[in-house]
Amino acid sequence: MAMNMSEKILARHANVASVEAGQLVVCTLDLVMANDITGPPALKEFEKIGKPVFNAEKVALIPDHFQPAKDIKSADLAKSLREFSRKHKIKHYYDAGRVGIEHVILPEFGIVAPGMLTIGADSHTCTYGALNGFSTGVGTTDLAVGLATGQAWFKVPEVINVKLTGTKPKNICGKDVILTLIGKIGVDGALYKSLEFSGEGVKELSMTDRFTISNMAIEAGAKAGIFPFDDKTKAYVEGRVTQPYEPVSADDDANYFSTVEINLSELKPVVALPHLPENVKNVEDLDEIKINQVVIGSCTNGRLEDLEIAAEILRGKKIHEDVRCIVIPGSQYIYKEAMHRGWIDIFIDAGCVVSTPTCGPCLGGYMGILSAGERCVSTTNRNFIGRMGHITSEIYLAGPYVAASSAISGVISC
């Protein structure tokens, strides 16, 4: 039976020859992940089950949302993960100074790999699809059961084939690709479906582009966003992933719910206006929109390539006097590498604030909360009402090209 990538991964982990859309399966998990917001309630549910952790080497607990702790409550959340990790000898627990944003460091540390099946108590767990795995977000109870049993149930999703063609222009990045896609199909266009990317255009995308695109699959309602395994994937995991892995590829006659085509050659820098990621417009078509803040970072765009783009634009420039610009490297490695390459000097000389790795303002946590009526251009993944602060504030989602350019001009620009 012909299968797509999602079906092959789920069939393998359900230990059956094949699966099809709509089928319910129970699968063995390769990794179970939680953070300092979602972890503590899941751990309480886990304790009620009364079983040990299924495999201490296949659990990752990452306190990244409010770390370093911003207040007593956030310190208590991290403490609960710390104590649980020590009690159960969790291998992949990374505390302040060694931590980074979960969806940046798990690939960076080689903890996720091609062909893997991962669940995480965070909606952007779908990021790891960039590495040819099936990864998806789950709720508290499912995570607790996963911790105890190493299993989870899945309804095999229908799959949308996103066919990429053309050549990517220099000023276009993965954020423009995924926002364009969400603008086409809407925030519910892939509801309980998987997005699988194919076509000659895939080779145009760097791994950073792919992580960004897979990360925001959830913003179209998707359960996963999966890329094929190719030379770029192989080059990324070599030297990182130490365990055996088995990539998957879609059969030529695999079944798809629908196909959406995107010609990369035709793309222009875009921005998602408030208050949904589907409200996508070309930057060149916008009237002058003055801004108060820019955020460059997050699990969506806090990687080395993102910072390089921002640094090249900000080199020798100054942030607009009416704008605050916050740069958040996604991991300690990225922070250190950016420092060695001189980018941190560029950011500081331009007038930016450079933060330690944290989710921070993305979810309205800290390090850049918006006041009433303020506008922010952000490389994060959501622009819902009140997401980054006051309910009358506004978030404009964009890639690092647009974000850095806007920080200089004081208006949304590219």
CATH code of residue 382 = 3.30.499.10
Let me know if residue 34 belongs to a domain.
yes
**Pair of tokens at residue 140:** 């508290």
pLDDT of residue 96: 81
Task: Give residues with Cβ within 8 angstroms of 181, minimum separation 6.
Answer: 162, 195, 213, 220, 260, 262
Let me know if residue 414 belongs to a domain.
no
Do residue 107 and residue 211 come from a single domain?
yes
SS3 label, residue 217: helix
pLDDT (tens, 9 = 90+) of the chain, 414 residues, equals 899 999 999 999 999 999 999 999 999 999 999 999 999 999 999 999 999 999 999 999 999 999 888 899 999 999 999 999 999 999 999 988 888 999 999 999 999 999 999 999 999 999 999 999 999 999 999 999 999 999 999 999 999 999 999 999 999 999 999 999 999 999 999 999 999 999 999 999 999 999 999 999 999 999 999 999 999 999 999 999 999 999 999 999 999 999 999 999 999 999 999 999 999 999 999 999 999 999 999 999 999 999 999 999 999 999 999 999 999 999 999 999 999 999 999 999 999 999 999 999 998 989 999 999 999 999 999 999 999 999 999 999 999 999 999 999 999 999
Residue that is last in its domain, among 263, 294, 329: 263
Do residue 239 and residue 366 come from a single domain?
no
Let me know if residue 120 belongs to a domain.
yes
pLDDT of residue 177: 98
Rg (CA), the chain: 20
* CA distances to 29, 139, 222 from 250, in Å: 21, 29, 18
CA distance 207 to 212: 9
Do residue 252 and residue 304 come from a single domain?
no
Let me know if residue 36 belongs to a domain.
yes
Do residue 47 and residue 78 come from a single domain?
yes
pLDDT of residue 105: 95
Do residue 137 and residue 167 come from a single domain?
yes
pLDDT of residue 99: 83
pLDDT of residue 98: 86
Let me know if residue 24 belongs to a domain.
yes
Q: What residues make up the domain containing 357? A: 272-409
Do residue 328 and residue 217 come from a single domain?
no
CA distance 74 to 397: 27
Let me know if residue 143 belongs to a domain.
yes
Do residue 178 and residue 65 come from a single domain?
yes
How many domains does the structure of the chain reveal?
Answer: 2
Let me know if residue 305 belongs to a domain.
yes
Do residue 114 and residue 230 come from a single domain?
yes
Decide if 130 contacts 140 (C-beta within 8 A): no
Residue type, 332: Q
Do residue 376 and residue 329 come from a single domain?
yes
pLDDT of residue 221: 96
Residue that is last in its domain, among 219, 239, 263: 263
Do residue 141 and residue 256 come from a single domain?
yes
Task: Give residues with Cβ within 8 angstroms of 295, minimum separation 6.
Answer: 325, 326, 328, 361, 362, 368, 376, 377, 378, 379, 380, 388, 403
Do residue 107 and residue 131 come from a single domain?
yes
Task: Give residues with Cβ within 8 angstroms of 234, minimum separation 6.
Answer: none
Residue that is last in its domain, among 199, 232, 263: 263
Let me know if residue 154 belongs to a domain.
yes
pTM flag (> 0.85): yes
Do residue 167 and residue 286 come from a single domain?
no
pLDDT of residue 190: 95
